[in-house]
Each structure stands twice: as C-alpha cells, then as structure tokens.
Amino acid sequence: MRPIREELRDPVNRADLDEVYHRLEGSLQAGTSSRSWLLPITAATAVAAIALVVWAVWPAPDPGSVQIVATGAPLEHVEGAAEPVRLSDGSSLELERGTRLSAVENGEARVSLLMSPGRSTFDIEPNGPRAWTIDAGPFAVDVLGTRFTVERADHRGRVSVDRGRVRVRGEIVPGGFVFLGAGEHIELTFGDEERAPDEHTSPAPATATEEPGAPEAPSTPEASEPRPRPAAPEAESWEALAARGAYGPAYSAVEADFDAELERAESVEQLFALADTARLSGHPARARGPLERITLEHPNDRRAGVAAFTLGKIEMAIPGRAAEAERWLSRSLELGLSPSLADAARRRLTAL
Amino acid sequence: MHPAPRKLDQEPLSDEDLVGRAADGDRWARGVLYDRHASALAGTVARTLGHHDTALDLVHDAFLYAFEHLGDLRDPSRFRGWLFQIALSRTRTWLRRQRIRRAIGFVSSIEDSTLEMLSGPDASPEARAELRAIDRALRRLSVDERLAWALRRVEGCSMGEVASHCGWSLSTAKRRYNSADRRMTAILARGGAER
C-alpha cells in the first residue's frame, strides 16, 4: 500500500528549514529552551529584525576569535607582506607576496583558513585551544601546535613541517590523508587529469619524504609504518568496495567501465557512488560526469546542491577554472544547501 | 615515508558519531544532524497537524530539546527515532490542546497544510475530494488514533516505527492503528461528513 504522502507535495521547503535552523542555533547559543510557538509570529519577526540591525551596525568581535596584533581586528583576510603577521594567541603567519588567506571560521575552538596559490609559513602556538585547518583547495592541512609551510602552485602543492605534526588530507592525497612529523614533507600534483588521461593508471601522484638533515620524526603508526592497501577480493563489485570505503580498489574495478556505468546509473545514490569512487580515489575530474548529471537530472533532490558544491570544489582545485568554480558554487546555492555548507560556498565564492 | 591507506574523512559520519561530536558542542555536527533529519521530521509533523507554521515551531522545539539533552540518549545510533519521539510527543500535546480549544469555540489557527491542500496541482477532483474526506475523518479520531493512522497510512511507517515514534509498545500501536482504521473505514463509508 503506497503511503498517501507520495501523492502530496512537500509541506515544507528549504527556506523554511533554513529559517528554523537559524532560530535553533540562536536558541542554543542563548542557552535557553524556546517556546516560540507561544509567541505571535509578528513579535518574533520584529525581534529578529531588531537583532539583525543591531548585529549589522554594531558588530562586536567574537571574544573567542584570534586577532591580528597590529590592528586588533579579527583574523579575516591577510595578504602577503614583508613582515610576519602576529596573532593574539602567539601564532604568526608569513605569506609570500601575492598569497592570500581568508578565514572561513575563526572561533574559540577552531580556525579554518582558505589559502590562495602561493606560499605561507604557519607558526602555530603549541597547546593552544584551537584546531587549525589550512584549506589549500586540492588538499588541506590539519594542525595543532607546529611550524610548517604550505606551497600551492598551478599543478603542485607541497607541505613541509619544521616542528610538531600535521595531517594533510584531500582527494589527491593517496589514501585520503597522511600524517607528517618534524622534518617531513609531502609533494602533491593535481589538476592535470584533463591533459594527461593516462594518469588514471599511473602511480600515486604524491610523495612524502624526509628532509635531509632534519630531526628525526616521531615514530607513530600513522607517520612511519606504511600499511599495505588491502587487496580487493576479485568477486567484489565496485559498488560493494565503494560502500565499505575502499575507493581505490573500487575505482580500479570500475575504471574500464566507468563511462558505461555512468550511462547505466539513474538514481542519485548510484551517481553519487560513482562520483565518490572517482573523487575519493584521487580522480576528481572523472567525478564531474556523475555530479553534473545529478544537478541536471535531479535538480529537486536535496542532494543536488551538494553535487554542485562538490563540482565547485573540484574546479577550484584546477588552475584556470575559477569561472567554472564560481558557476558551480553559485548553482549550489540556488539548488539549496545546508546552512553550514551554504556558508562554506559563500566563503569560497568570496575567496575566488 | 608512504601515506597510510586508511581514510578518516571520506565516509559519511554515522548519527552515532555525529551525536558524540554534537554532545561535545560541535556546531558542524549539529548542522549535519539537522540537515539529515529535519526535512523528514518537518514533513511528518506538518502533514499530521495540518499546520505549517506550528509544525516548524514544533520541529524547532524538538531539535532544541534533543540537542540540549544529547547526554540522555543512551544509544546514540537511535537519534532519529528519539527525535521523532520528542517531536510527536509535542505534536500529540498540541493536538489535544487544539481539540480543547475547538471544543470551547476558541480555535486559534486555521489549518493550512491539510492533505487536500498538499495535493499536487495535477490532482483530479476525485482525488481532492478523497483527501478532503480523509482530513475530515482524521479530525474525528482520538488524538492517539489519529497519530497511529497518519503515521501508518500517510507516512508509510511500519508498525514498529509507529510504536517507536509514539513511545508505545508494539501491541499498543497495533491496537490503536486497528481501532483507527476501523473508524476511518466506517466514517469514509458514510461519506466522511463532519459531525
């Protein structure tokens, strides 16, 4: 027996849910349980409008944010300069000319920065309360207290660690992530899949090596004990491999028939499975097909926005495709995203 | 050095993982939980109540309560069921109050999301008439019967889900649904006229 709801239109839309989410976050931050349904809607709207005006004209800095010592302003946007940028928590940033950093998040528990192509050295105060993330497009660096340098060029990236330990992650990092200790670095290549289609069968495009003369890295299972990739059972389908997160073997299994599988796939789930298999095995360019089909053939599905957002991220990682990235990020906002993803999309658009 | 083949960030996090992070104050995890469940919850509550704005308020209150009491959830993997239970408990309370208001002639809001109103633009006049009759018949059931029937027939829940969402035993859920279905059948056979 088919449920009646299948014959009906959806009673709530994305905008309704976003509005509830914002009210919810406000209530949680105020720390009080809401009984808003007892209040007239007009009163709630008036209060929200007043709060918005007050917030807009009187933006008090977040007391938990990191600030630039020289200006006292919260860390929001920094451009390369001759002098290091010193921060209120004792950390400092050295940016080469032309390099830009934009804060996606700057709070008491987390600082997330988007980094443009260029070179930056980060000296993060050890044992600080915040988790730092540097998003360099095709790869990101998660860090606690440490000193490290990130370089991002057209088709390559490099992360080297002077002190402490970081995690480098991203679709182009084989296995999804790698830990680096003091004296270690990793070199990554990306964005040339269109020019070099054979790369899909090439060895991993990343290497991590020890700096000559550098102090010995701490011995940790993640950093120093390479583990073999588990061999995929022959009988296992690419879907089964992908479903359990073995994207590398899944891609190997589907690679030859990728286009045929793409043609056969109809549902959003099948298309996302193909996209994830390509993207998370280090072949983001091949994820374009299934993701584009989701946005074109399933625009009313709530995941269509996520597909467009992912396309935007993929294009952002490829030099010279900023216009495509902007188009997909804008499209993701039109299709609808969760509040947190929408915020991330807007930040990325600003950073482009 | 070679990278480890393990992946940390590439598989969707389970509700269990997200609940743990949200309980530690992770706003992102709260957002993902909201995004994952809000649409289905709001749809269910709105169709059950027939009131769009009230449904959104109840969804807000349910998430607020849930996020403030994550520590009370003994099995984090059951977040969705627990959330529905919280929301439907409030739905039940609101329907009871509405019934009292209606009984004393003080109806404070007009239904704006009845099944008939939610029928698509292509619905035939016959289909609309049928949905209107179901709307009217549902108003004549007790609140618990209405919940049981709406969850089962409108939402397509299994009897186990009806029991879980309403905080009833399976046998209670079956009893209430069977009673509701008998009454709905009888009311609809009489043309669904309101008393």
Q: Running along chain B, 195 residues long, what does each successive block of 10 average in pLDDT?
A: 37 84 88 91 94 92 93 88 92 85 64 84 86 91 94 95 90 94 91 50
Task: Evaluate whether residue A84 is within a structural domain.
Answer: yes
Residue B176's pLDDT is 94
Which value, to the nearest 10 degrees, does the dihedral of the CA atoms of residues A60, A350, A48, B56 take?
Answer: -140
Helical axes A268-280 vs A304-316, angle rounded to 10° = 20
pLDDT tens for A229-253 read 434 445 678 888 877 667 778 888 8
Task: Evaluate whether residue A9 is within a structural domain.
Answer: no
Residue linked to tokens 């002639």: B105
Residue A140's pLDDT is 82
Given CB atoms, is B189 within the 8 Å cutoff of chain A?
no
A10: nearest CA in chain B? Answer: B43
Q: Are residues A327 and A290 in the same domain?
A: yes
Q: Are residues A108 and A173 in the same domain?
A: yes
Q: Is A227 in Cβ contact with B118 (below 8 Å)?
A: no
CA atoms within 13 A on the CB side of B87: 31
A266 pLDDT above the threshold of 60? yes
Q: Which has the higher per-residue pLDDT, A221 or A311?
A: A311
Given CB atoms, is B1 within the 8 Å cutoff of chain A?
yes
Residue A215's pLDDT is 35
Q: Are residues A219 and A306 in the same domain?
A: no
Averaged over A129-149, what is the pLDDT? 81
Name all domains of chain B by residue range, CATH numbers in brackets.
14-103 (1.10.1740.10), 121-195 (1.10.10.10)
Residue A252's pLDDT is 85
Q: Are residues A199 and A243 in the same domain?
A: no
Q: Are residues A198 and A175 in the same domain?
A: yes
Q: Are residues A178 and A133 in the same domain?
A: yes
ipTM strictly over 0.90?
no
List B residues 86-105 in contact with A (Cβ-Cβ < 8 A): 94
Q: A205, A211, A210: which is closest to A224 by C-alpha?
A: A210
pLDDT tens for A18-70 read 888 888 888 887 664 444 444 455 455 555 555 554 444 443 445 577 887 77
Provide the domain limits for residue A178: 77-224
Given CB atoms, is B148 within the 8 Å cutoff of chain A?
no
Residue linked to tokens 């829940």: B157
Nearest Cβ partner for B11 among A23, A225, A245? A245
Amino acid in position A345:
A
Task: Evaluate whether residue A38 is within a structural domain.
Answer: no
pLDDT tens for A269-321 read 889 888 888 887 778 888 889 999 999 888 888 788 888 988 888 887 776 77
CA atoms within 13 A on the CB side of B107: 9
Q: Are residues A110 and A203 in the same domain?
A: yes
Q: Are residues A195 and A107 in the same domain?
A: yes
List beta partners, residue B179: none
In total, chain A counts a number of residues equal to: 352
Q: Are residues A197 and A165 in the same domain?
A: yes
pLDDT tens for A190-210 read 764 433 333 332 333 344 443
Helical axes B79-103 vs B27-49, angle rounded to 10° = 40
CATH number of the domain at A310, please.
1.25.40.10
Q: Are residues A173 and A292 in the same domain?
A: no
Q: A158, A147, A156, A150: which is closest to A181 by C-alpha?
A: A147
- State which of A190, A224, A258 marks the end of a domain: A224
Q: Is B154 in Cβ contact with A4 (below 8 Å)?
A: yes
Q: How confident is the model at residue A142 (pLDDT cuts 50, 70, 90)?
A: confident
Task: Evaluate whether residue A42 is within a structural domain.
Answer: no
Residue A236's pLDDT is 76
Task: Evaluate whether residue A211 is within a structural domain.
Answer: yes
Residue B109's pLDDT is 55
Instruction: Identify the top-confidence range among A219-223, A348-352, B133-137.
Output: B133-137
A327 pLDDT above the threshold of 90? no
Residue B25, Ramachandran bin (φ over 0: left; ψ between -120 and 50: alpha; else beta): left
Q: Are residues A104 and A200 in the same domain?
A: yes
Q: Are residues A220 and A83 in the same domain?
A: yes
- State which of A198, A224, A250 marks the end of a domain: A224
A339 pLDDT above the threshold of 80? no
Task: Evaluate whether residue A58 is within a structural domain.
Answer: no
Residue A61's pLDDT is 43
Task: Evaluate whether residue A1 is within a structural domain.
Answer: no
Nearest Cβ partner for B3 among A9, A10, A208? A208
How many beta-carbon pairs below 8 A join chains A and B? 166
Residue A213's pLDDT is 37
CATH number of the domain at A155, please.
2.60.120.1440
Task: Compute the distance between CA of residue A327 and CA of residue A322 in angstroms, rounded to an integer.
Answer: 9
- State which of A224, A259, A279 marks the end of a domain: A224
List B residues 25-84 in contact with A (Cβ-Cβ < 8 A): 25, 27-28, 30-32, 34-35, 38-39, 42-43, 46-47, 52-61, 63-65, 67-68
How many folded domains does chain A comprise? 2
